[in-house]
Structure 1
């Protein structure tokens, strides 16, 4: 979602900065376009960083024998380096 939002902000900012030739007394449309382009670029970078952090996972699989029944027990654990509460 953050990548999509960043691309939309950047695209709207580029349209306002380069394609719209409107003069408004109380606001500079070109400056608003540049601000939206900067915000979009920032959101894209943050989105990429968050996606990269989310993909660092550690998976552990253990197989043991239950001494009481003699059955094999398989335990799968998945964790992230920062812990599950980081997201």
Structure 2
């Protein structure tokens, strides 16, 4: 869980409004394009990481159990360029 960070941007004026649901931002960092594609489809290890993090936050009481907006931030690593050997082989 060290690659996941949680950033909540709630100031004092919005914290007073208990009736409103505050968004939760989950930053997963840079991941492979394949993993990001699976996350978009609702599958894969990244989705499991998101679910696990939300369960931990609900258990600790930092996030309400009701429906609350969750924004997942993840960046796809660019594909590595294949090096040409210059035609020597």
Whether the TM-score (by the shorter chain) exceeds 0.5 is no
Could you say which structure has the higher helix fraction? 1
Compare CA radii of gyration and give the structure with the larger one: 1
| TM-score, with length taken from structure 1 | 0.29
Greater relative CO (CA pairs within 8 A, separation 6+):
2
| TM-score, with length taken from structure 2 | 0.29
